[in-house]
Amino acid sequence: MPKQKLHPLPSAAFQILLSLAGEDLHGYGIMRQVADQTNGRIRLGPGTLYSSIQTLLEEKFIEEVDQREDAKLGNERRRYYRLTLAGRKLARSEAERLADLLRVARTKKILRGDYV
């Protein structure tokens, strides 16, 4: 049975993809980055975070890079994750879908005056 967990793309998974667009991060790094990029609106809990990571890994949208220490967070070794090309494409297509929504918002005059 094929997994359809990422279809449609859940918000948490999209946020994780976005958080990894800049640099490789470990789990806690992703959580903080997501909180930053949503102004604290979304704080991913461990369960949601790692189950999303698990699915994204299985579908090869992200990959595990290596285990290393984060100097700022003590000497525990941490798994780092990286966005794959497919993941970048997925994030882009989701962003384009949102852009299309924006365009509809304009035609309905919810957002006015822009080209979008």
Q: Contact positions toward another protein, by CB under 8 A?
A: 1, 3, 5, 8, 27-28, 31, 39, 43-51, 53-55, 73, 76, 78-79, 92-93, 96-97, 99-100, 102-104, 107-116
DSSP-based three-state secondary structure for 62: strand
What is the smallest separation between the CB atom of 27 and another protein, expressed in angstroms? 5
Shortest spacing between CB 100 and another protein, in angstroms:
5
The structure tokens 């789990």 sit at 27
Pick from 1, 90, 12, 83: nearest CA to 44: 12
**56 touches 13 (CB < 8 A):** yes
Phi then psi for residue 114, to 5 deg, are -110, 160
The CA angle 110-38-114, to the nearest 5 degrees, is 25
Q: What's the closest the beta carbon of residue 5 comes to another protein, in angstroms?
A: 6
